[in-house]
């Protein structure tokens, strides 16, 4: 039996059953199972009534359909200590950024497209492995998300510093570095995976625990990656950003040495320590791969190397995932 859509059936009845239309053959009557002798007007009225009821039912169904709940996705799916969590949020409300809370701290989110936002959350070697509880607030609701955080082993080093190299940092350098790490610029300057800032070999990985002159440094972990290479070797920006910190030994940077800090935007910053020379000034905008200085051994340093620290909302995170997987 031939099936008709609502539109095609209506069209058929209005054209083929009109009094001026030619009569159907017996074969056509059998094919469509239509009695041409029946009154036309009552059938059309019934058809209009049926179509009206169908339209009302469909409209009511659409109006009664519940609004889509807050959509949240967390990457990586199986993070470990030191990883950066990327929380992607889809909302129904335009122009109101959702927030994400973790461990009693609230982090902002930034729009990546209409109704789509992303928040970055840091984890450290000092965190407890287990289940992280995230609270995502948006669209007038709160969604609780459980994220497993895997344990990770970190090596321990013993470092011996000379009397001059073991002097405490000055208040000036501590304050300037602290303020730099607090930066949360709304714009996102980086794009794709971060570059290696030095061609030197990795001498110290992220997260190493240390004894300094025989004393264990509580609540300390190596907040970055060290690259060992000769004095004067080039140092480049791993990603685009604005130079927001320049510090020199002559200006009180006794521990950090000659320092450059780059703001990559949205709470992500890079800091480069122990430089020999600095080739940028505060306020400069640098591109990924652009030279910003040279490797040195200034400040609290045991030899020529570059220390690159990557921070998310003021917390040191492992730069390796940013280099190889990227958080775009």
pLDDT, one tens digit per residue, over 54-110 is 655 544 444 444 445 789 999 999 999 999 999 999 998 777 899 999 999 999 999
Q: Kindly give, in sequence order, each residue whose CB lies less than 8 Å from that of residue 251, ignoring residues fewer than 6 positions away.
A: 172
pLDDT of residue 50: 66
Token pair belonging to 58? 């469909």
- Residue 244 covered by a domain: yes
Token pair belonging to 161? 């510093």
In the predicted model, is pLDDT for residue 251 greater than 90? yes
CA distances from residue 102 to 87, 106, 107, 151, 242 in whole angstroms, order as listed: 11, 6, 8, 18, 28
pLDDT of residue 9: 41
Indicate whether 173 and 189 sit together in one domain.
yes
In the predicted model, is pLDDT for residue 244 greater than 90? yes
The CA distance from 34 to 17, in Å, is 10
pLDDT of residue 19: 45
Among 64, 86, 108, the domain boundary falls at 64
The CA distance from 290 to 295, in Å, is 14
pLDDT of residue 70: 85
The CA distance from 176 to 271, in Å, is 12
Among 112, 130, 149, the domain boundary falls at 149
- Residue 188 covered by a domain: yes
Mean pLDDT of 116-138: 96
Angle between the N-to-C axes of helices 6-16 and 40-64, in degrees from 0 to 180, rounded to the nearest 10: 160
CATH of the domain at 77: 2.60.40.1590
pLDDT of residue 160: 83
The CA distance from 119 to 113, in Å, is 13
DSSP symbol at 199: S
139-158 tens-digit pLDDT? 889 999 999 999 999 999 89
Indicate whether 297 and 174 sit together in one domain.
yes
Taking a C-beta distance cutoff of 8 angstroms, is the pair 84, 327 a contact? yes
- Residue 1 covered by a domain: no
Which band of pLDDT confidence, cut at 50, 70 and 90, is reported for residue 42? low
Taking a C-beta distance cutoff of 8 angstroms, is the pair 165, 93 a contact? no
Indicate whether 240 and 271 sit together in one domain.
yes
pLDDT of residue 63: 43
Taking a C-beta distance cutoff of 8 angstroms, is the pair 185, 266 a contact? yes
Mean pLDDT of 104-125: 95
DSSP structure string for 80-109? BTTPEEEEEEE-SSSS---EEEETTEEEE-
Indicate whether 160 and 145 sit together in one domain.
no
Strand partners, 119: 87
CATH of the domain at 292: 2.70.70.10
The CA distance from 292 to 281, in Å, is 9
- Higher pLDDT among residues 149 and 50, named by residue: 149
Indicate whether 38 and 145 sit together in one domain.
no
Token pair belonging to 155? 């090596």
Indicate whether 51 and 97 sit together in one domain.
no
Indicate whether 271 and 166 sit together in one domain.
yes
Residue 75 burial (10 A CB sphere; 0-12, 13-18, 19+): middle
Task: Quote the number of domains for the chain.
Answer: 3
CA distances from residue 107 to 10, 95, 130 in whole angstroms, order as listed: 58, 17, 20
Indicate whether 43 and 80 sit together in one domain.
no
Indicate whether 249 and 137 sit together in one domain.
no
Q: Kindly give, in sequence order, each residue whose CB lies less than 8 Å from that of residue 58, ignoring residues fewer than 6 positions away.
A: none
Q: HEC states along 113-138?
A: ECCEEEEEEECCCCCCCEEEEEEEEE
69-73, 101-105, 128-132, 297-301: the lowest-pLDDT one: 69-73
Indicate whether 127 and 162 sit together in one domain.
no
pLDDT of residue 307: 98
Q: Could you tell me which of 261, 267, 266 has the C-alpha nearest to residue 307?
A: 261
Which band of pLDDT confidence, cut at 50, 70 and 90, is reported for residue 16? very low
Taking a C-beta distance cutoff of 8 angstroms, is the pair 239, 156 a contact? no
Among 46, 64, 82, the domain boundary falls at 64
- For the whole model, what pTM was predicted? 0.78
SS3 content of the chain, % helix, strand, coil (to 5): 20, 35, 45
- Higher pLDDT among residues 292 and 50, named by residue: 292
Indicate whether 130 and 177 sit together in one domain.
no
Q: Which residue segment(s) compose the domain that 92 sits in?
A: 71-149
Indicate whether 22 and 142 sit together in one domain.
no
- High-pLDDT (> 70) share of the chain, %: 78
Task: Please tell me the number of Cα atoms within 13 Å of 29 on its side-chain side.
Answer: 9
């Amino acid at each position: 039996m031939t099936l008709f859509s609502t539109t095609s059936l209506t069209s058929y009845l209005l054209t083929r059953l009109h009094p001026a239309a030619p009569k159907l053959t017996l074969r056509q009557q059998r094919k469509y199972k239509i009695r041409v002798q029946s009154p036309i007007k009552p059938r059309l009225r019934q058809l209009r009534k049926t179509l009206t009821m169908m339209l009302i039912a469909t409209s009511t169904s659409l109006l009664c359909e519940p609004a889509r709940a807050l959509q949240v996705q967390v990457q990586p799916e199986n993070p470990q200590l030191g990883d950066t969590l990327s929380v992607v949020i889809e909302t129904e409300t335009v122009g109101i950024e959702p927030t994400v809370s973790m461990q009693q701290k609230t982090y902002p989110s930034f729009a990546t497209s209409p109704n789509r936002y992303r928040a970055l959350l840091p984890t450290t070697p000092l965190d407890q492995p287990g289940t992280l509880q995230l609270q995502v607030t948006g669209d007038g609701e709160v969604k609780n998300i459980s994220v497993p955080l895997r344990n990770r082993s970190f090596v321990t080093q013993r470092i011996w510093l000379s009397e001059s190299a073991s002097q405490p940092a000055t208040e000036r350098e501590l304050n300037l570095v602290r303020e730099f790490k607090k930066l949360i610029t709304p714009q996102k300057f980086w794009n794709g995976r971060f570059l290696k800032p030095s061609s030197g070999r990795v001498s110290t990985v992220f997260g190493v625990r240390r004894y300094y002159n025989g004393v264990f440094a509580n609540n300390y972990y190596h907040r970055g990656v060290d690259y060992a290479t000769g004095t004067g070797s080039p140092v480049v920006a791993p990603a685009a950003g604005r130079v927001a910190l320049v510090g020199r030994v002559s200006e009180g940077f006794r521990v950090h040495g000659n320092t450059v800090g780059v703001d990559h935007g949205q709470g992500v910053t890079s800091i480069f320590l122990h430089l020999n020379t600095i080739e940028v000034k505060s306020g400069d905008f640098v591109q990924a791969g652009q030279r910003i200085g040279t490797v040195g051994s200034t400040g609290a340093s045991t030899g020529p190397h570059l220390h690159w620290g990557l921070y998310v909302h003021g917390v040191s995170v492992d730069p390796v995932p940013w280099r190889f997987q990227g958080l775009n």
